Structure 1
Amino acid sequence: MAEVELGQAVLPAYKNTLPIPHSTIPPRSSTSYTPMGSYTGLDEAEQRLLVLDVNEDENENESSSEVKIQIRDLSKVSDKSVPILSKVNVDIPRGVIMGVIGPSGSGKSTFLRALNRLWEPPSKTVFLDGKDICDLDVLGLRRRVGMLFQLPALFEGTVADNIRYGPQLKGKKLSDNEVYKLLTLADLDSTFFSKSGGELSVGQAQRVALARTLANEPEVLLLDEPTSALDPISTQNIEDVLVKLKKERGMTIVMVSHSIKQIQRIADVVCLLVSGEIVEILKPDKLSEAKHPMALRFLQLSN
């Protein structure tokens, strides 16, 4: 059973975890960061510390208690020196769906894109399985940490051509049967195999894009508003696939969404990002207990 600390911007405490190499991971500051915005010292913040059981299934594999991604003091400023992210600290456990919500312009997409180097984060700020992602081959990293965007962009050719694209770059050609399995995983039937992108609805194209991403066998899936352009049925199909990937493959999923209800349906834990800072970390059914004024207002207006 994994435990995650809430009310702070870092989730460090896990039971029965495998040791994570600390030689490359900078220690957290014990005094400088007060994520709730109203505390003057760590002792006071610690009094507000809550503990949440992310995984309530007693039979869940112990590996789910490991930390998959660690973010330490991740910051970014715009070309005009405006802060976009300000010393973001958070641990993302293996095998959970983490929702990231917050007002527009709060840095959600920027945060997400740092996790597979779609923008280059500073060294020693983002770690995958304890290793600095800046030290990893970027193409290899993006196969391990796949990403699905708001609007699907399919390549020319058939659906099967799209799904085979990633593995072909590594010199592997997926068999027809392997393509069919990926279609099924993305909630598409075999009739889509030979269709072109122009024959698909936006929802179908998004599921093809998901199957194409899954063909690379990623360990982590990043989702940037993946259902915002979809109808309710297509949205539910995508959500069902994500929950299935978590349960059956133990995949770690980080999802940015403006839909509070969507996050409440599928996420295990939620980060509230405001003005480039993670100000709250809560269980989905506890979002109404947010303390940060801006986060609370955003949640009230979203419901």
Structure 2
Amino acid sequence: MRQPVFALHAASVHFGHPARAVRALSEVSLQIHAGERVALVGANGCGKSTLLRLLHGLLPSTAGRFEPDPALRQAMLFQKPHLMRLSVQANVALGLWLQGTAWGQAKALALAALAKVGLIDLAQRNARQLSGGQQQRVAMARAWALQPQVLLLDEPTASLDPHAKREVEALIDAFASGPEAMTLVFASHNLGQVKRLASRVIYLEHGRVLADLPVEDFFSGPLLQQQYPAAHFFVKGELV
């Protein structure tokens, strides 16, 4: 049996004073293994972003156990990337430099990463002057340059136009393919995107995992309707 890259055991995340705490995640138990493409779905406020931040070490668990691998290389992309007021190349090189790569080598590796996402011609442009889709591709180049084993994405195409969404989706798919494929964990409201990119779907509601199924069973199998009615209504667009 493969060792999981992430293992959560009744992990919870609460915000606020203990007496009036808001439960963002409640007793979540799951494992994610190398090579999986895991989509997190559910209504706004269901806990998708909190779970991603917990996996990335940006939030501590309030209760239960989370067992991250300290040697795991991982990167996270947000819906709107934060870019410095620097050139595109420098934005990508900066992450490498912060990890200890010499600046000259970091700049060379940044160009290779920009070529990977089709932006090498814009290497010297101010990153903040790019379109939303281009900025997200810069963020993806920055992540790819770090050679992570796991890529976490929080609604990475939600604010993009259809053409930019297709470009970013194609890159995500490419990053998760091939002999050195990254493990993907991504949150999305776009169920078409989930069908295209995911191999497994986790449905959350009020901070709890109510369904965890292969993508085929989540969208087309009778198992969903019979055993996970809340997720079934969500897929049908009937969730109140």
Letter in 2 for 1:228: A
SS of the counterpart of 1:265?
helix
SS of the counterpart of 1:179?
helix
Pairwise CA distance, 1:127: 2.2
Pairwise CA distance, 1:123: 7.7
Task: Give the structure with the larger helix fraction.
Answer: 2
Letter in 2 for 1:102: G
Q: Write the deviation string for residues 136-181 of structure 1: whole angstroms up to 9, x where unpaired.
A: 5xxx87xx22110011221111000000011111331335542222
In 2, Cα distance between equivalents of 1:283 and 1:171 = 39
Q: Write the deviation string for residues 86-108 of structure 1: whole angstroms up to 9, x where unpaired.
A: 11011111012100001111111
Residues 263-272 or 174-183, more deviating: 174-183
Residues 118-127 or 85-94, more deviating: 118-127
CA distance change for structure 1 residues 302 and 67 in 2, over 3 Å: closer, same or farther? Answer: farther
Aligned to 1:166: 95
Pairwise CA distance, 1:274: 1.2
Pairwise CA distance, 1:302: 7.5
Residues 279-288 or 252-261, more deviating: 279-288
Q: 1:296 aligns with which of 228, 232, 236?
A: 232
Matched ranges for 1:41-56 at <5 A: none
Aligned to 2:174: 244
Aligned to 1:257: 188
- With normalisation by structure 2, the TM-score equals 0.87
Aligned to 2:75: 146
SS of the counterpart of 1:125?
strand
User: Would you say how many aligned residue pairs link Structure 1 and Structure 2?
Assistant: 228
Is 2:59 the partner of 1:119?
Answer: yes
Aligned to 2:131: 201
In 2, Cα distance between equivalents of 1:282 and 1:200 = 38
In 1, Cα distance between equivalents of 2:238 and 2:108 = 43
Is 2:115 the partner of 1:184?
Answer: yes
Cα contact 1:259–1:302 (8 A) shared by 2 = no
Larger Rg: 1
Long gaps (5+) in structure 1: 1-13, 18-65
In 2, Cα distance between equivalents of 1:92 and 1:257 = 17
Q: Which runs of 4+ in 1 moved over 6 A?
A: none
Aligned to 1:10: none
- With normalisation by structure 1, the TM-score equals 0.70
Cα contact 1:225–1:256 (8 A) shared by 2 = yes
Identity %: 31
SS of the counterpart of 1:76?
strand
Pairwise CA distance, 1:124: 6.7
Is 2:3 the partner of 1:74?
Answer: no
**RMSD of aligned C-alpha atoms?**
2.1
Letter in 1 for 2:231: A
In 2, Cα distance between equivalents of 1:228 and 1:261 = 13
Letter in 1 for 2:230: M
In 2, Cα distance between equivalents of 1:191 and 1:287 = 41
Q: Write the deviation string for residues 105-151 of structure 1: whole angstroms up to 9, x where unpaired.
A: 111110110011111225872223xx4xxxx5xxx87xx22110011
Cα contact 1:260–1:302 (8 A) shared by 2 = no
In 1, Cα distance between equivalents of 2:229 and 2:184 = 28
Letter in 2 for 1:88: V
Q: 2:48 aligns with which of 100, 108, 115?
A: 108
Long gaps (5+) in structure 2: none
Q: Write the deviation string for residues 222-274 of structure 1: whole angstroms up to 9, x where unpaired.
A: 10000000111211111111121111322111000011110000101110111
Q: Write the deviation string for residues 277-301 of structure 1: whole angstroms up to 9, x where unpaired.
A: 1111122222244232322221111
In 2, Cα distance between equivalents of 1:183 and 1:73 = 40
Cα contact 2:151–2:183 (8 A) shared by 1 = yes
CA distance change for structure 1 residues 175 and 107 in 2, over 3 Å: closer, same or farther? Answer: closer
